[in-house]
Amino acid sequence: MRFPPKLAPGDLIAVTAPSSGVPLPLHPRLEFAIKNLKSRGFRVSEGDCLRSQHKNKSSCKESRAKELMAFFTAPEIKAVMPPWGGDLAMELLELIDFERLAQTDPKWFVGFSDLSTLHFPLTVISGWATLHGPNLMDLGAKELDATTQTIWDILESDRGVVIKQYSSEAFQREENRWGTATDAGFNLTQPTEWKRLDGGTSAISFQGRLIGGCLDTISRLAGTKFGNLPRFCEQNKNDGVILYFENAEMGPCELTRALCSLHMHGWFDNLAGVLIGRNAAPEVDDPGQQNYLDAISSSLADLTVPVLYDVDIGHIPPQLSLVNGAMATIVFAERGGSVSQHL
């Protein structure tokens, strides 16, 4: 596993949209986020596939892939930070030369949601450590909450440092330049509470290399060369592997089908533990229908390794910044917990 060097003032960050672009009405928000990068001392290079949006993508798949590959292989670029995810990053997979990137010096690739589609093969094929955390558009606030701020602790830290993050006791976002938190695309949440899927409350801990992302997208990679998690587990059997994921849009039955498919593809074999983020999809209130907890319980309750859910991961803020490929120690205690990552 290869970690990019830490970011330092003067470094060049590329901004491109390999999935959804930024439509004209949201250009001021994008510019504010880019301004914040520059205020930290970074130089910024904007790609051509960024400030437009048509049919759920910033440009045709060939243009998006060519630009992303150019940024990944340019020695002067130290990080690639898309504005956000989207829907169709999967179109790029066969156009990206991940084997070539395995021979290229790694750089930080940052974000979440549909970007997980690219994070996963960058880690399991190219051996790059990638950062699953707040997107660039989430970093444009005048002041970042403590959980979101940790992304900079990771990006700007020396290799060998251990970054420890705790579960959030509550998340309260004040009105900012975009209006209310809801207007800005965030949902105000109740205090977070991590839970053990087996219903236990006693303290547990486990460790391994992190890998995962948005289940809506990475589940489609199972059975392909872009999502060969069993091979990654075999390669890292001495360290152990922790799979993490979160559900963005799948209803309970679709989620159940996705998890059952991953079971059949061997994704839950030889793991050290599983972390599941808070569910962002609409919940089912009818007690006679399958609900979210039913979905993860029916699919994962038979695992013999720790499974934690409602963890601070993904589409419901706040979310932890997790480094794919990093060795991590997970501690669960008193309905909360911590994640310590070795950079």
Distance CA 112, CA 320 (A): 11
Distance CA 195, CA 200 (A): 8
Examine the domain organization and report whether 188 and 154 are in the same domain: no
- What does the pLDDT read at residue 257? 97
Tell me what pLDDT residue 190 has. 55
pLDDT of residue 21: 97
Whether the Cβ atoms of residue 315 and residue 246 lie closer than 8 Å to each other = yes
Question: Which residue in 127, 86, 110, 119 sits closest to 37, CA to CA?
Answer: 110
What is the predicted pLDDT for the residue at 169? 55
Domain harbouring 268, CATH code: 3.50.30.60
Q: Are residue 227 and residue 146 in the same domain, yes or no?
A: no
In a domain, 2, yes or no: no
Q: Are residues 121 and 205 in the same domain?
A: no
* 171-224 tens-digit pLDDT: 333 333 333 333 333 344 456 789 999 999 999 999 999 999 999 999 999 999
Same domain, 211 and 144: no
Confirm whether 115 is domain-assigned. yes
Is 219 a member of any domain? yes
Q: Do 78 and 186 fall within a single domain?
A: no
Domain stops at, among 158, 192, 225: 158
Residue 6 lies in a domain: no
Work out the number of other CB atoms within 10 angstroms of the CB of residue 232: 21
Predicted local distance difference test score (pLDDT) of residue 191: 63
Q: What is the pLDDT of residue 192?
A: 76
Q: Based on the structure, what is the number of domains in the chain?
A: 2
Range of the domain at 124: 12-158
Please indicate, yes or no, whether residues 226 and 305 belong to a single structural domain of this protein.
yes
Whether residue 144 lies inside any domain: the answer is yes
Q: What is the CATH number of the domain that holds 35?
A: 3.40.50.10740
Contact 79/110 with Cβ under 8 angstroms?
yes
Residue 1 counted as domain residue: no
Domain end among 119, 142, 158: 158
Q: Are residues 111 and 130 in the same domain?
A: yes
Q: Which residues of the chain have pLDDT under 70?
A: 169-191
pLDDT of residue 285: 86
Please indicate, yes or no, if residue 131 is contained in any of the structural domains.
yes
C-alpha distances out from residue 225 to 4, 219, 230, Å: 23, 13, 11
Q: 123 and 248: one domain?
A: no
Q: Which residues of 86-118 are buried (b: 16+ CB within 10 A; e: fewer)?
A: bbbbbbbbeebebeebeebebbbbbbbbbbbbb
131-169 b/e (C-beta count within 10 Å ≥ 16 → b): bbbbbbbbbbbeebbebbebbeebbeeeeeeebebbbbe
> Is 133 a member of any domain?
yes
What's the CA dihedral at 188, 191, 197, 198 to 10 degrees?
Answer: -160
Residues 149 and 122 in one domain: yes
Shared domain for 232 and 319, answered yes or no, is yes
Residue that is written with structure tokens 């930290």 in the block: 40
Q: What is the model's pLDDT at position 174?
A: 31
Q: What is the pLDDT of residue 175?
A: 34
Identify whether residues 133 and 229 lie together within a single domain. no
Shared-domain flag, residues 134 and 170:
no
Cβ atoms of 147 and 165 closer than 8 Å: yes
